[in-house]
Amino acid sequence: MQAIRPQRHYLVLVNSLGGGGAERVAALLCNAWAAGGHGVTLVPTFGERTPSAYPIDDSVSLVYPPARGTGRSPLTRARRVADLRRIVARTMPDVVVAFQVNVNIAALLATFGTGVPVIVCDRSHPELLPLPRGYLTLRRWMYPKADRVVVQTESARRWFSERIPAARADVLPNPVLWPMPCATPELPPEEFLNGSEKLLLATGRLDADKRFDLLIRAFTRIGLPGWKLVVVGEGSDRDRLARQIASLGAADGVLLPGWAGNIGDWYARADVYAFCSRYEGFPNALLEAMAAGLAVISVDCVAGPAELIDHDRNGLLVPLDDEGAFQAQLEVLMRSDERRQALGAEAKRVREDFSLLRVIERWDVLIADVVGGGPSVEP
C-alpha cells in the first residue's frame, strides 16, 4: 500500500513573527498551504521566540535558528547563513519562499549549490527602498539566481526587467481578507462620532511619507459641515500632526484616535476613504477600503493605486503632487451621495479579484512551474 505524503514541503523564511506586511502575507500563505495538505515550515530568521502578530495554524512547523542578536558583522551574517543552510538540509523542502531583501539574499546564499528552488519576494517598490550599498550589490548579483522574484505591482516588475533583467520577476499581489478579521485594541467608531456625522477616513502609520498633513489641509479648507476626518493609526508623526490640527483650529473636526484592531468597523462606518501616500510597496489599506465598498480617492503614487483604481469608475485617482486637484475632487465626492454610492458599488469588486483563494491559486501556478510534478508518493 502506498502512503501519500504532503503534496509539497514549503520552507518559508521571514525576518520575525512581528507585525508587518511581509509577516502578514507569509502567515496567510503558510496557513493556506497547510490547509491544502502541504507540509509547511516557517522560520523567523533572526531566531527570536516572540509571539506571532498573526495567527499561525498548529499544523505549520515553527523552526527557530540560533538567536544571534542584531549584530551586523560579516561573521554574524555568515553564521546566520550557515544556520539556514543546516535548516534547509534538515527539512529537505521542495521549495523555499523568502520575504524581504535581507532574508532573500540569505536564502539564496544558504541554498547555493543545493538544487532547491527559491522564490524571493520583494515587498517594497525596489527603486524607492533605501538599502545599503552592499545590499544593492548583492541584490543585483543574487536575484538572477532565484527561480522567481515575486513583486506586488506591475511597476515593480518593470523596474526589475529594466535594471536587473536576468531576474525573473512575476506579479503576485497581496490578498484582501473579507470579511475583515478583528483584533485588539478595539476602538468603537461610535465613541468618536455621533450617528448623523459623515466620516472621511484614512488609515496607516503616522509618518511623513503617508502625507496625512495634505489630507488635513484639504479637509479643513473644504470645511463642509457635518463631516469629520479620522486618521486611524499610530506613529512618530503624531505630535506634528496634532500641532497642525491645533494651528488650523480643527480639533473638533479632525481626530487621531490611535491604532484600531477592528479596522473593519471603521470601514463600515466611513463614507469616503482617502489615500495620500508618497509611495507604497502595495496599498493594502486602499484595497481593504475598496473591498468594504467605500468610495475612495487616492493620489497616483508609486506603486499600486493606479493598478487598483480605474478613475471615475471604481474610485478617483489624482496626480501625486497636485494638492489643488486632490482637494477639488475630494470636495465633489463629499458633496455627492450618488457619486459615492456608484463608486463604492464598483470598488467592492476587488473582493473577488484579490481574494485569498484567487491569490493562492496564482501562487500554486507559479510554484508548480518552478517545482514541477504533482503530489509526492512513497511506497
Is residue 112 within 8 Å of 134, Cβ to Cβ?
Answer: no
Q: Determine which helix (DSSP H) or strand (DSSP E) holds 265, and give its type and residue range.
A: helix 263-269
pLDDT of residue 70: 66
* Residue reference for cell 539556514: 84
Q: Give which of 235, 260, 264, 230 is closest to 245, Cα–Cα.
A: 230
CATH architecture of 3-175+355-378: 3-Layer(aba) Sandwich (3.40)
Residue 236, C-alpha cell as written in the block:
512618530
> Could you tell me where the DSSP H helices lie in 304-349?
305-308, 323-335, 337-347
Region label for 231, one of left (φ > 0), alpha (ψ between -120 and 50) or beta (otherwise) = beta
Q: Which of 295, 343, 287, 298 is nearest to 320 (CA)?
A: 298
pTM: 0.87
Q: Residue 26 and residue 83: Cα distance in Å, rounded?
A: 20
pLDDT score of 91 more than 50: yes
The full set of domain ranges for the chain reads: 3-175+355-378, 189-353
Tell the CATH topology of 189-353.
Rossmann fold (3.40.50)
- Asked whether the domain spanning 189-353 has the same topology as the one spanning 3-175+355-378, the reply is yes
Give dist(CA 199, CA 186) in Å, integer: 18
pLDDT at 376 over 60: no
User: Model confidence over 194-247: pLDDT tens digits?
Assistant: 999 999 999 999 999 999 999 999 999 999 999 999 999 999 999 999 999 999
What pLDDT, on a 0 to 100 scale, did the predictor assign at position 374? 44
Residue 234 to residue 288: CA distance in whole angstroms = 18
Query: CA-to-CA distance for 100 and 103, rounded, in angstroms?
Result: 6
pLDDT digits (tens, 9 = 90+) for 289-317: 999 999 999 999 988 899 999 999 999 99
